[in-house]
Copies of this chain bind each other. A is one copy, B any other.
Amino acid sequence: MTAALEGIRVLDLSRALAGPFAAMTLGDMGADVIKIEEPQAGDTSRGYPPFWNGISTYYLSINRNKRALTLDLSQPAGQEILRHLVSQSDILIESFKTGAMERWGVGYDELSRINPRLIYCAISAFGREGPDKHRGGVDILMQAYAGLMSITGEEGGPPVRTGTSVVDLSAGAHATQGILASLYVREKTGKGQRIDASLLGTTVAWMTYHAVAYFASGQAPGKMGSMHPSVAPYGAYPTQNGFIVMAIAFDSHWRAFCKITGRDELADDPRLATNPARIANRALLDDVMAEVLTAKPSAVWQQIFDDASIPCAPVNTLDTVLRLPQVEYLDYVTDVEHPAIDGLRMPGIHLGMSETPGTIRRHPPALGEQTSEVLREFGYSESRIAEFLASGVVTQGSHS
């Protein structure tokens, strides 16, 4: 076996980020992923700037290892083609508003009758049932609605969005888990099932310790900038030329910090000697940290603290991150061959699997790039494919 999901066929009807990210993960593991889009504009992410040789960088980042087919699901002929594809596939992923697939006659009940082995994964904003099941929602709205924004940013400052789309990405990651667990179950039972992942459910789940601390105390957490409620110094502190992040959870690290910065007297100061004392005297601590750390540039401190094994890190910008020797060494970023983009690079395979390593085999496809090829593989004759193309229920695209 060369790849974990070799021989597994995925129909990816999802759009934007959560679903395409989930499907790409399955593709990285070796599945044959067929991205199905409506024939006019396709996935909404194809329109998101900035563009690279006319192609959305957003789209490029989450659609490798897929082939593209267009299909007009508003036409009965399109629905019939989907039912036929499902009869020969293992997994279907969709992120339409709750009820849309049923209205097209391709809901889970119908599709699982056609193929009882089908694993059907719906990704929704609010979940499949309940008073809000019909509400839509995108990453930033759920970052606000589910509480993430209320705990991110400076105390007293405006709400801050986490800089990458963590709500979409985490929902996609959990959808992938449900699909993989269902593949394992299917080996034992021979039966598929329906998976439901939601942006709301995932975000609530990721509140972990904040949620239980709230139930214990009745106190909702607030915004703390880069600081931590229970550990200090812990967060970003100013240096001569920027910031450095310290994570001093142990008093032994605090004593080492005082010694290496030439401020031995602080180690014995009862206002700062223990973690509880430092939390109680946070304003004093912040003054001391600023006084000490603004004396040298970040890189000099980094070396000093690394040598003393005191936990700290630079606040790297992405240009630095994406060229780190460690990132290069482990191919955490990688080149991807593309017919229209010389020098395409993107995050690579980051999960190690010793027996079935992930691979990148296909560039992110143009809209409908493999429509005819895929229909042929599913058994349609050349004349039927020509009819479909003539009627507009499918379209054929290319990068040229």
B245, A311: Cβ atoms closer than 8 Å? no
B140, A57: Cβ atoms closer than 8 Å? no
Q: Does A29 contact B (CB under 8 A)?
A: yes
A159, B57: Cβ atoms closer than 8 Å? no
A141 — nearest CB in chain B belongs to which residue?
A: B313
B315, A159: Cβ atoms closer than 8 Å? yes
B314, A210: Cβ atoms closer than 8 Å? no
Q: Does A111 contact B (CB under 8 A)?
A: no
- In A328-349, the 8 Å CB interface with B consists of 329-330, 332-333, 343-348
Docked Cα-Cα span, A249 to B47, in Å, equals: 11
Residue of B60, B204, B354 near A212 (CB, 8 A) is B60
Residue-wise, chain A 91-116 has the 8 Å CB interface mask toward B (1 for contact) of: 00000000000000000000000000
Please name all residues of chain B whose beta carbon is closer than 8 Å to the beta carbon of A379 when the two chains form the complex: none
- In A226-258, the 8 Å CB interface with B consists of 226-230, 234-236, 238, 243, 245, 247, 249
Docked Cα-Cα span, A330 to B189, in Å, equals: 27
A204 — nearest CB in chain B belongs to which residue?
A: B332
Q: Does A136 contact B (CB under 8 A)?
A: yes
Q: How many of chain A's residues have a CB under 8 angstroms from any CB in B?
A: 147
B130, A169: Cβ atoms closer than 8 Å? no
A126, B326: Cβ atoms closer than 8 Å? yes
Residue-wise, chain A 187-199 has the 8 Å CB interface mask toward B (1 for contact) of: 1110111111110
User: Could you tell me the distance in whole angstroms from the C-beta of A322 to the nearest C-beta in chain B?
Assistant: 6
Please name all residues of chain B whose beta carbon is closer than 8 Å to the beta carbon of A189 when the two chains form the complex: 1, 355
Given contacts A208-B21, A325-B131, contact A159 B226 (CB under 8 A): yes
Residue of B1, B311, B319 near A141 (CB, 8 A) is B311
Please name all residues of chain B whose beta carbon is closer than 8 Å to the beta carbon of A351 when the two chains form the complex: 174-175, 177-178, 195-197, 201
> Residue among A127, A163, A166 with the most chain B CB within 10 A?
A163
A60 — nearest CB in chain B belongs to which residue?
A: B212
Q: Does A389 contact B (CB under 8 A)?
A: no
Number of copies: 2
Given contacts A1-B185, A204-B332, A318-B220, contact A226 B158 (CB under 8 A): yes
Q: Does A266 contact B (CB under 8 A)?
A: no
Please name all residues of chain B whose beta carbon is closer than 8 Å to the beta carbon of A347 when the two chains form the complex: 204-208, 211
User: Could you tell me the distance in whole angstroms from the C-beta of A150 to the nearest C-beta in chain B?
Assistant: 4
Q: Does A61 contact B (CB under 8 A)?
A: yes
A316, B144: Cβ atoms closer than 8 Å? yes
> Residue among A192, A346, A354 with the most chain B CB within 10 A?
A354
Q: Does A371 contact B (CB under 8 A)?
A: no
Please name all residues of chain B whose beta carbon is closer than 8 Å to the beta carbon of A160 when the two chains form the complex: 152-154, 160, 225-226
A355 — nearest CB in chain B belongs to which residue?
A: B193
B141, A178: Cβ atoms closer than 8 Å? no
- In A159-182, the 8 Å CB interface with B consists of 159-166, 169-170, 173-178, 180-182
A235, B321: Cβ atoms closer than 8 Å? no
B322, A204: Cβ atoms closer than 8 Å? yes
Docked Cα-Cα span, A46 to B202, in Å, equals: 24
Residue of B51, B138, B173, B325 near A174 (CB, 8 A) is B173
A154, B164: Cβ atoms closer than 8 Å? no
Q: Does A378 contact B (CB under 8 A)?
A: no
Q: Does A400 contact B (CB under 8 A)?
A: no
Residue of B1, B157, B194, B350 near A205 (CB, 8 A) is B350
User: Could you tell me the distance in whole angstroms from the C-beta of A188 to the nearest C-beta in chain B?
Assistant: 7
Residue contacts A-B, CB under 8 angstroms, 22 given: A1-B189, A21-B208, A51-B216, A127-B326, A138-B249, A140-B228, A141-B247, A145-B313, A149-B315, A152-B163, A161-B225, A161-B235, A162-B163, A164-B210, A170-B170, A193-B356, A196-B351, A201-B350, A204-B327, A210-B318, A211-B345, A220-B318
